[in-house]
Structure 1
Amino acid sequence: MSTPTRKPLDRHELWSLLSEKSDFWTEVDVVQVTGSTNADLAKAAKHGAPEGTVLIAEEQSSGHGRLDRRWVSPARAGLTMSFVLRPTVPREQWATLTLLTAVALEESLRAVCGVNAKLKWPNDVLIDGRKVCGILAQVEDGAVIVGTGLNVSLTEEELPVPEATSLALAGASTLDRETIAAAFLSHVAAVYTTWNERGPASVIERWRRNSATLGRHVAVSFPNGRKISGRAVGIDNDGCLQVALDDGAVETIAAGDIVHLRPED
C-alpha cells in the first residue's frame, strides 16, 4: 500500500460540517503539533474551559494512552483529538464515558466509513481484532477530558505495533477526516446528552451488543501487579467488567489491563 496524500485538516470545513449536525460543541481548534491534546485541555479545564471544547492535533510529540503507553502516529495520518465534558450525573457513573465514546465511534464508523468495529473493554475499538482507536479519559477540576487516537490512513509499515490497523487498511469507504470527525463528534454529543439525562443504561447495552470482550477468555493485570484469568461474562451498570474465574467465583473489575486469550492460551 502506497502512502496516501494527507491534506491538512480544514478547521472551517470541519466546523461547517459539525454545525449542520450538532449545536453542542462550543469551540473546535486544530493545531499542527502539541505534546498531548489531553494535557492541553486538562490545563484549559482548570481555567474554566467550557463543556464542548475540542482540540485536534495533526501530530502529538508525547501522546500516551492507558498505563502511560506511548501513542505514535505520522502527521495528518489520524484523528488525534480531545474534548471537555462537564457531566451532571453522579461521579461514580463518569467511568462509563469511555464506553460511551467507544460506542459513538463504532456507530459512526459503521455509518460513515462502512466498517464494522468491535469494542474491547475498557477503552479500545477494534477492526478484525486489531486496534484502530484508543480512548483515554481523565478527570480534571470537575470536568472529564476524553481523548481519542484514531488511525485513519496509516499503512502497514507505519503501524506502531503489529496488533494495530487503520481505516485505510480496513477498506473504509472514506478517509476524509473532516467528514469522519464531524460524524463522530455529533454522535458523541447526541449519546452524551441522553447519558446525562437518563444515565448509562443505554450506552452499556449498546456496548454489550458490540463487545469483542464478552464471552472471551481474558487475562487481567491489575495496577498493583496482581493477575487473574477467566471468562468475561458481563459488564455491570457502572461499566465494570465481570470475569468468571476457574473456581466459579465472579470478580468485578473496575480498572485493569485486559488481554484477549486464544482458546489454547
Structure 2
Amino acid sequence: MTTGSSQRPHRGPLDASRLAEAFAPYPDLTLELLAEAASTNAVAAQRAAEGAPEGLVVLADHQAAGRGRLDRTWQTPPGTAVTFSLLLRPGVPAACWPWLPLLVGHNVAKALTALGHEASLKWPNDVLLADGRKVAGILVERVDTPAGPAAIVGVGINVAQEAAELPVDTATSLAIDAAGVAPDRETVLLEAVATVREGYDVWQAGGEQGTERLASSYRAHCATIGRQVRVDLPGGGELLGRAVDIDGSGRLVVQTSEGPRSVGAGDVVHVRPAPDAD
C-alpha cells in the first residue's frame, strides 16, 4: 500500500481525500478521521461497544493525550505523528491473544523497513530504529462488547519531530533517522495499517502453525534477544540476566543466575539494557 516517494515532511493537516481514495480498494478497512482526539483507543473502544465491525481505523490528525502501557501518557506537536487505533475481533483461542501486541509491533517494524528505515523490536512491541531509539509505541487493549471481545490496537509513530520536540532522549523520529527527509504521514499510515492487517489475517488463518510462524519471525527481528537486561517488576523488584528467547506464549525468557525466568508484558514495568556480566 506504499504511496509516493520520500519527501521532506510537512506539518499541515492530513489529506482526507487522499486517504479516502487510498482506503477505497480495501473493503475490510474503514476509516474514521478525527481532527483531534484525546485518545484514539478510547474512541475505537466506544465504536466497538456500539457494534462497529472489525477493520475500523480511528485516525486522529492530532492526539492530545495518548496512552501507553501502564497508563503512561504522551503528547506530540500537531502534524508530526501518525496516531491511530485499529478495531479487531480475533477468533483465535484466548491463549493466543498475548501474541497480538507482538504481532502488531512486528508488522509496524516491517512497514517502516519497507519505507526505507532499519527497524527492529524491543520486547514486547516497542519499535526501534538503527540507533536503538524508539520511533513507535503500541498499546493493545481487550474490551468486552455485545458482539463479543474485541481488541483495540493503538499505534503511535513519530514521523516529523525534531530532536528538541521529543519527550525523552531515547526517542527518535523518521525525519531524524533520514536526516530530515521522511515519508509524509499519509504514506506512513497506509503502509502501517495495510501491513498490520495483512499480518493479522495470515495469523488468524494459520491456526496453531500461524502462531508458530509468527513466533519464529518475531524472534528473528527482536533486538532484545541476546542482550543483557534488567527487568523492573511491579513493587520494586528486578531480574538481571540475558534475554535468551521468546516462549510459546510470547513471554520474554531471561537467563538469570538462578536459572531461566519467563515474564509476560503485563508482569513488567520496564525492560532496559544492562551491562554485560563479567
1:32-83 deviations in Å (ceiling 9; x for gaps): 2111111111122122121001111122222111121112111110101111
1:151 alignment partner in structure 2: 158
- After TM superposition, give the deviation of residue 90 of structure 1 in Å: 0.5
Q: 1:15 to 1:263 in 2, by over 3 A?
A: farther
Distance in 2 between the 1:221 and 1:208 partners?
22
CA deviation after TM superposition for structure 1 residue 18, in Å: 3.3
> Which residue does 2:264 correspond to in 1?
254
Report if the CA contact (8 A) 1:18-1:185 is conserved. no
Whole-angstrom CA distance in 2 between matches of 1:86 and 1:60:
24
Question: What's the counterpart of residue 199 of structure 2?
Answer: 191
Unaligned runs of 5+ in 2: 1-7
> Given that residues 159 and 182 in structure 2 are in contact (C-alpha distance below 8 angstroms), is that contact kept between their aligned partners in structure 1?
no
The DSSP-based 3-state class of the residue aligned with 2:95 is helix
Decide whether the 8 Å contact of 2:31 with 2:58 is kept in 1.
Answer: yes
Alignment partners' CA distance in 2, 1:23 and 1:187:
15
User: Out of 181, 188, 210, which is 1:180 matched to?
Assistant: 188
Q: TM-score, normalization: structure 2?
A: 0.88
Q: 1:81 aligns with which of 64, 79, 84?
A: 84
Percent identity between matched residues is 41
Question: Which residue number in structure 2 is paired with residue 94 of structure 1?
Answer: 97
In structure 2, what is the Cα distance between the partners aligned to 1:48 and 1:92?
A: 24
Per-residue CA deviation, residues 151-195 of structure 1 (Å, 9 max, x unaligned), is: 000001101111100000000763211112111111111111111
Contact 1:11–1:28, Cα closer than 8 Å, also in 2: no
Which of the residues 16, 19, 28 maps onto 1:11? 16
Q: Is the contact between residue 38 and residue 63 of structure 2 (CA under 8 Å) also seen in structure 1?
A: yes
Deviations 1:221-241 (A, max 9, x none): 223443111110000122111
Distance 1:95 1:254, change over 3 A: same
SS at match of 1:230: strand
How many residues are paired up?
259
Give the whole-Å Cα distance in 1 for the aligned partners of 2:92 and 2:261: 26
- Matched with 2:3 is none
Pick closer, same or farther for the CA change 1:95–1:12 going to 2, 3 Å: farther
Aligned to 2:60: 57
TM-score normalised by L of structure 1? 0.92
Given that 2:90 and 2:204 are in contact with CA atoms closer than 8 Å, whether structure 1 keeps it comes out as yes
Deviation at 1:264, TM superposition (A): 7.2
2:241 alignment counterpart: 230
Which runs of 5 or more residues in structure 1 are unaligned?
A: none
Question: For residue 24 of structure 1, what is the amino acid of its counterpart?
Answer: D
Q: Does 1:133 align with 2:150?
A: no
How many angstroms apart in 1 are the aligned matches of 2:79 and 2:97?
31
Deviations 1:194-228 (A, max 9, x none): 11111322222221111110000111122344311
1:46 maps to which residue?
A: 49
RMSD of aligned Cα (Å): 1.8
Contact 1:14 1:179 (C-alpha < 8 Å) held by counterparts? no
